[in-house]
Amino acid sequence: MWLVSFRDLQWRRRRFVIAVISASLVFSLTLILDGITAHVSNEVAEVVGGFRADGWVVAPGKAGPFTATKLLPASVVDDVGRLPGVDRADPMIAARETVHDKWINVLGYDIGGLGEPRGQHVGRLPRGPGEALVDEMLGFRVGETIVLGGNDFVVVGTANGLSYNFGAPTVLLPIAEVQRVFLTGQALVGAVAIKGRPAALPSGLRFMTNAQVAADLHLGMDDSLQTVVILNALLWIIAAAIIASIVYLSALERVRDFAVMKAIGVSDRSIMAGLAFSSLLLAVLAGIGATVLAFALGPTFPMPVDTPIGSYVTLLGVSVAVGLLASVAGLRRAVRVDPALAFGGN
Amino acid sequence: MATVTIRDLLIEYSSGGYAVRPIDGLDLDVGDGELVLLLGASGCGKTTLLSALAAILTPARGSINVDGTEVTSLSGVALTEYRRHQVGVVFQAFNLIGALTAAENVALPMLGAGVKRRTAIDRANTLLERVNLGDRADHHPGDLSGGQQQRVAIARALALEPPLLLADEPTAHLDYIQVEGVLRLLRSLASEGRTIVVATHDERLLPLADRVVELSPHAHETVGTRTVTLTDGEALFRQGDEGDFVYVVESGAIALTRECDDSTSELITTIAPGRYFGELAPLFGLRRSATARASGNTTVSGYSASEFRSMVGHDKLSQLIGEGVGTGSQRSVHQLS
């Protein structure tokens, strides 16, 4: 009986198209929110993994290398490097700055040490004072000047995927430059990135694994991520409600049709299958529309949207489920229709 | 061809909380290839009877047998199969599906029965040719006249070649030119040996029928008066009975009750001596809408409709009817008698 449902959709095509567009928009927002969530999770893994460290040594307390406000003397780097089980120790420091009215991250690393970017970039890596590698999100090109802490830095390279702290772009500087600009030249470091694993640490130092560092970075974003997850769930409900209301309205308007179909021997199962077909078609078309919209709208968002392929596949699966779920109210209405309604003069 | 045997049929439904029995104790036999008209005014149970024949409405009592199949006991797959293959229905309001073309509407029962789409559409086109609508196969119902829609509805009813065809008020929405076409079609279908039952209040269809079944209660032209003595609780008449006399309470009292759909009774009013009741059924040829029982030993006088009219006078009659049961006017009726 799919033909009857298909013809009915054609008959009410304006409403159907509006429903598909509405549901597509909502579905596309879920994809984009998925993409934002995925980016936030990915960027933490990338920034921590980018140091290629096995672990970290930080000051006492609970903060990690990227969130620490308690600094260590630079001499700690050599002390840690000499500990048994430690193959290599390099300093790092993180700071915050505003550029173009946006919060950005500033990371200082040892030239040639752990933390020096290894990924693809345009231009070259900083080799000395006054040079910076800048996140592409900031829009600088190689050769341009970026002002950090009131000091001019030449952009010698740009790279992709350097953000963290909920999509905030990052500028990488030699650590001495960070100390000069942000710490008035004091020989302090935020943490020591190490290769290997120290058997024990001197008092006043704390060891963190990469997982602990990542968890620490997530800590400040948990509420935001939870909000995104709740918003996403609400959007799914809205999409389901759109599909359900269209299918239910259609079922209400077709009560006489269903009565006639039953009276002439069309089984309940066939009627239900036809209605479910309408709902599924609406949901799947909305899912496809959402995929197109997400690709189109994603780049217009101020922060990167890394929607995983799995989300698109999930969307199709979930939209089928949503379509079936949304059709339940309509199906119940259709099944309850009394074929005796077909008789009578109205 | 199909034979239809109906025995002691009682159909009851609820209306406004009260039990209504449009069909009560009906016996009917329809032979192979007969075209039977169910004639009667609105509300007499014509459409209700068709619904029961179509296995859409289950009677409270009695049996309906179509070609050996006891229709009242059908359920599930057997019920669906009966509706598909044994009976075709032409609805009063055509009931074509607006989103489908004429051919698709005709193909609908076949598609519902699992016939392949191409085969169903081919047969639908053949049926539309047969009802002279071959050139309208791709039109939607909204683009067809009432007569054309009715012919599409007939073609749809014939889709699975049912031996029994039911038509509910097939001329209700048609002008006289369209009526002619539909009548010719129904007659030709009956001539092919198909059993056809038509519900109508349109007496123009009488020459079409092999047999006419009058479903309206017979307005017995009772004459004179009668005096009835009742013991406590004894029924004078029951809800659903045909109307005969208008009664006036001479002594004792009459309780008028109405049967509810939950098998209980509701007291409407108690009629005191000198007051009349039960005038509508005999005056208008309706069934009794309530049950009258004696409350204590009671004597009532019954007057025929014509005598009641003459006693009251034509001018006062409509006024009395408007006032209903139990008003002061009845004393004058009593005095006149």
Q: Is the pLDDT of residue B173 over 70?
A: yes
Pairwise CB contact (< 8 Å): A344 & B99: no
Q: Is A257 on the interface with B (CB under 8 A)?
A: yes
Mark whether B177 and B321 lie in a shared domain.
no
Distance in angstroms (rounded) separating the CA atoms of residues A171 and B106: 73
Of the listed ranges A41-50, A208-217, A314-323, B317-326, the one predicted with least confidence: B317-326
Alpha helix segments (H runs only) across B4-101: 46-53, 76-85
Domain boundary among B214, B241, B271: B214
Considering the domain boundaries, does residue B250 fall inside one? yes
Considering the domain boundaries, does residue B220 fall inside one? no
Alpha helix segments (H runs only) across A69-170: 75-81
**Closest CB from A262, A340, A346 relative to B51:** A340
The structure's pTM equals 0.69
**Is there a contact between A243 and A253 (Cβ–Cβ < 8 Å)?**
no
Considering the domain boundaries, does residue B40 fall inside one? yes
Pairwise CB contact (< 8 Å): B84 & A339: no
Considering the domain boundaries, does residue B128 fall inside one? yes
Task: Give the orientation angle of helix B305-312 with respect to helix B314-323, to 10 degrees.
Answer: 100
Q: Which two tokens stand for residue A46?
A: 């990338």
**Is there a contact between A108 and A174 (Cβ–Cβ < 8 Å)?**
yes
Contacts of A85 by beta carbon, 8 Å cutoff, 6+ apart: A196, A197, A198, A199
Considering the domain boundaries, does residue B207 fall inside one? yes
Domain boundary among B174, B190, B214: B214
Contacts of A101 by beta carbon, 8 Å cutoff, 6+ apart: none
Nearest to B166 by CA among A307, A104, A36, A343: A343
Mark whether B171 and B288 lie in a shared domain.
no
> How many angstroms away from the CA of A240 is the closest CA of chain B?
25
Chain B residues in contact with A343 (beta carbon < 8 A): 47, 50-51, 56, 91-92, 168
Task: Give the orientation angle of helix A2-11 with respect to helix B102-112, to 10 degrees.
Answer: 150
What average pLDDT does range A317-327 have in this prediction?
80
| Most confident of the ranges B7-21, B50-64, B201-215 | B50-64
Distance in angstroms (rounded) separating the CA atoms of residues B65 and B4: 6
Per-residue pLDDT tens digits for B106-164: 999 999 888 999 999 999 999 999 888 999 999 999 999 988 998 899 999 999 999 99
Mark whether B210 and B288 lie in a shared domain.
no
Mark whether B181 and B36 lie in a shared domain.
yes
Residue of A nearest to B84 (CA): A265
Pairwise CB contact (< 8 Å): B92 & A343: yes
Q: What is the pLDDT of residue B66?
A: 92
Pairwise CB contact (< 8 Å): B169 & A345: yes
Banded model confidence at residue B328, pLDDT cuts 50, 70, 90? very low
Banded model confidence at residue B333, pLDDT cuts 50, 70, 90? very low
Q: Which amino acid is at A229?
A: V
* Structural domain boundaries enclosing B270: 225-336
What average pLDDT does range B290-308 have in this prediction?
90
Residue of B nearest to A267 (CA): B80
Per-residue pLDDT tens digits for A46-87: 899 988 999 999 999 888 999 888 899 999 999 999 999 999
Q: Which two tokens stand for residue B35?
A: 């075209």
**Cα B251 to Cα B19, B229, B273, B300, distances in angstroms:** 30, 9, 5, 7
Distance in angstroms (rounded) separating the CA atoms of residues A325 and B211: 53
Mark whether B148 and B270 lie in a shared domain.
no
Q: What is the pLDDT of residue B221?
A: 61
Judged by CB atoms within 8 Å, which residues 92-131 of B form the interface with A?
92-93, 95, 97-100, 104, 108-109, 111-113, 117
Q: What is the pLDDT of residue B162?
A: 92
Q: Considering only residues B20 and A238, tell me which one the structure prediction assigns the higher pLDDT.
A: A238
Residue of B nearest to A8 (CA): B99
Mark whether B165 and B210 lie in a shared domain.
yes
**Is there a contact between B189 and B210 (Cβ–Cβ < 8 Å)?**
no
What is the Cα A39 distance to its own chain's centre? 4
Domain boundary among B190, B214, B238: B214
Q: Is the pLDDT of residue A344 over 80?
A: no
Pairwise CB contact (< 8 Å): A344 & B83: no
For chain B, the domain total comes to 2
Mark whether B97 and B74 lie in a shared domain.
yes
**Is there a contact between B166 and B38 (Cβ–Cβ < 8 Å)?**
no
Mutate to test the interface with B, among A13, A264, A278, A335 (most CBs of B within 10 A): A264
Banded model confidence at residue B332, pLDDT cuts 50, 70, 90? very low
> How many angstroms away from the CA of B222 is the closest CA of chain A?
34
Q: Is A184 on the interface with B (CB under 8 A)?
A: no
Q: Is the ipTM of this complex over 0.90?
A: no
**Closest CB from B50, B99, B168 relative to A7:** B99
Mark whether B167 and B301 lie in a shared domain.
no
Considering the domain boundaries, does residue B219 fall inside one? no
Calculate what percentage of chain B has a pLDDT beyond 90.
39
Residue of A nearest to B168 (CA): A343
Tell me whether strands B87-90 and B164-168 are parallel, antiparallel or unpaired: parallel
**Closest CB from A1, A342, A346 relative to B112:** A1
Nearest to A137 by CA among A164, A115, A109: A164
Q: Is the pLDDT of residue A333 over 50?
A: yes
What average pLDDT does range A246-272 have in this prediction?
86
**Closest CB from A259, A261, A343 relative to B112:** A261
Q: Is A342 on the interface with B (CB under 8 A)?
A: yes
Q: What is the pLDDT of residue B322?
A: 61
Banded model confidence at residue A240, pLDDT cuts 50, 70, 90? confident
Q: Count other C-beta atoms under 10 Å from residue A316's C-beta.
A: 16
Banded model confidence at residue B201, pLDDT cuts 50, 70, 90? confident
Of the listed ranges A105-109, A254-258, B149-153, B259-263, the one predicted with least confidence: B259-263
Looking up residue B119, the CATH number of its domain turns out to be 3.40.50.300
Pairwise CB contact (< 8 Å): B56 & A339: yes
Q: Count other C-beta atoms under 10 Å from residue A303's C-beta.
A: 16
Looking up residue B331, the CATH number of its domain turns out to be 2.60.120.10
Mark whether B31 and B82 lie in a shared domain.
yes
Pairwise CB contact (< 8 Å): A270 & B57: no
Per-residue pLDDT tens digits for B203-247: 878 888 888 888 866 555 666 778 899 999 999 998 888 888 899
**Cα A232 to Cα A20, A30, A190, A215, distances in angstroms:** 19, 5, 36, 23
Considering the domain boundaries, does residue B82 fall inside one? yes
Pairwise CB contact (< 8 Å): A340 & B57: yes
Q: Which two tokens stand for residue B162?
A: 């049912």
Residue of A nearest to B52 (CA): A340
Considering the domain boundaries, does residue B283 fall inside one? yes
Q: Is B58 on the interface with A (CB under 8 A)?
A: no
> How many angstroms away from the CA of A34 is the closest CA of chain B?
39
Distance in angstroms (rounded) separating the CA atoms of residues A126 and A113: 13
Mark whether B36 and B172 lie in a shared domain.
yes
Distance in angstroms (rounded) separating the CA atoms of residues B302 and B292: 13
Pairwise CB contact (< 8 Å): A264 & B117: no
Mark whether B126 and B250 lie in a shared domain.
no
Q: Is B174 on the interface with A (CB under 8 A)?
A: no
Residue of B nearest to A11 (CA): B99
**Closest CB from A12, A263, A344 relative to B89:** A263
Nearest to B296 by CA among B231, B228, B227, B229: B231
Pairwise CB contact (< 8 Å): B50 & A343: yes
Task: Report the run of H or E that residue A327 belongs to, with start and end.
Answer: helix A309-336
State in Å, rounded, how far the first CA of chain A is from the last one: 25
Nearest to B236 by CA among B300, B182, B282: B300
Mark whether B208 and B231 lie in a shared domain.
no
